[in-house]
């Protein structure tokens, strides 16, 4: 299966530089598990092959995009977003827009690794990263005898506890004492809402 996507405005971040506005074309090919499908000897990563092209306008030769550079590509549409790392391959074309001032470059690229998030569903569902877990903590000792709440996003409970301990130390809470509290995991696979405190003591 072959899908084509075009985004008039995307954002490319390379290193510590500010985000670059770019037009993006993306092709995502999913290898067919079909004994009658035509032979395809292309290189696939977990059954997916993706390539794309960037179109970038540059003023005064201030071009930080170069072959072999890696960056983070952000794509948005109607409130959803996808983010994934890319590697720049080749400059495919260049045009002068304003002599001695502005040029327009076209660069080919390949996505690298699994998408960081894929709300736009550009890639197959089974190609996405494992989702992070969300935990709440409502029984650590705060500054005053009122309700307390913390929300933590982590890969697992062990990492979540380390993150909560670190932020408690940073806030000067429960310093010098054993940090006892409960981690309650939220189910992010089903829609729902949780009221952590309703205003009562």
Residue 192 has pLDDT above 70, yes or no: yes
**pLDDT at residue 152, rounded to an integer:** 94
Residue 152: other Cβ atoms inside 10 A: 19
Residue 24 has pLDDT above 90, yes or no: yes
Residue 147 has pLDDT above 90, yes or no: no
On average, the pLDDT of the chain sits at 86
Burial class (CB in 10 A: 0-12, 13-18, 19+), 73: buried
Question: What would be the CATH architecture of the domain defined by 2-127?
Answer: Roll (2.30)
Residue 17: other Cβ atoms inside 10 A: 11
Residue 45: other Cβ atoms inside 10 A: 14
Looking at the DSSP bridge assignments, the partners of residue 13 are: 72
Residues of the chain above pLDDT 90, percent = 48
More confident residue, 62 or 3: 3
Q: Let me know the angle formed at the C-alpha of 76 by 75 and 81, rounded to the nearest 5 degrees.
A: 85
More confident residue, 53 or 78: 53
Residue 195 has pLDDT above 90, yes or no: no
Q: Are strands 70-77 and 2-13 parallel, antiparallel or unpaired?
A: antiparallel
Instruction: Please tell me the distance from the alpha carbon of residue 133 to that of residue 118, in angstroms, as a whole number.
Output: 16
Read off the tokens for 199. Answer: 């205003």
Q: CA separation (Å) from 168 to 138, 146, 162, 183, 186? A: 13, 16, 10, 14, 21
Q: Which long-range contacts (CB under 8 A, 24 or more apart) does 186-191 make?
A: 186/134, 186/135, 186/136, 188/131, 188/133, 188/134
More confident residue, 105 or 201: 105
**pLDDT at residue 144, rounded to an integer:** 84
More confident residue, 4 or 79: 4
> What is the DSSP track for 135-183?
EEE--S--SSSS---EEEEESSHHHHHHHHHHHHHHHT-STTS------
Tell me if 42 sits within 8 A of 49, measured CB to CB: yes
Residue 8 has pLDDT above 50, yes or no: yes
Residue 70 has pLDDT above 80, yes or no: yes
Give the tens place of pLDDT for each residue, 106-115: 999 999 988 8
**pLDDT at residue 39, rounded to an integer:** 53
Residue 35 has pLDDT above 50, yes or no: no
Read off the tokens for 184. Answer: 């309650």
Tell me if 115 sits within 8 A of 122, measured CB to CB: yes
Residue 2 has pLDDT above 60, yes or no: yes
Query: What's this model's pTM, rounded to 2 decimal places?
Result: 0.62
Read off the tokens for 35. Answer: 């004994």
Give the tens place of pLDDT for each residue, 80-101: 899 999 999 999 999 999 998 9
**Alpha carbon of residue 33 to chain centroid:** 28
């Amino acid at each position: 299966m072959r899908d084509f996507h075009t985004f008039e405005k995307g954002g490319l971040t390379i290193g510590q530089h500010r985000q670059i506005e770019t037009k993006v074309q993306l092709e995502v090919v999913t290898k067919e598990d079909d004994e009658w499908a035509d032979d395809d000897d292309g290189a696939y990563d977990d059954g997916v092959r993706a390539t794309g092209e960037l179109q970038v306008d540059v003023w005064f030769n201030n071009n930080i995009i170069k072959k072999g550079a890696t960056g983070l590509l952000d794509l948005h549409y109607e409130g959803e977003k996808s983010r994934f790392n890319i590697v720049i391959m080749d400059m495919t074309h260049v045009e002068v827009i304003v002599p001695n001032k502005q040029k327009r470059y076209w660069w080919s690229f390949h996505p690298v690794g699994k998408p960081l998030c894929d709300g736009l569903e550009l890639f197959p569902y089974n190609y996405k990263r494992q989702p992070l877990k969300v935990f709440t903590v409502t029984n650590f000792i705060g500054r005053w005898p009122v309700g307390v709440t913390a929300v933590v996003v982590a890969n697992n409970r062990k990492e979540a506890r380390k993150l909560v301990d670190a932020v408690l130390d940073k806030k000067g809470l429960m310093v010098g004492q054993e940090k006892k509290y409960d981690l309650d995991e939220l189910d992010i696979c089903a829609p729902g809402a949780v009221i952590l405190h309703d205003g009562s003591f």
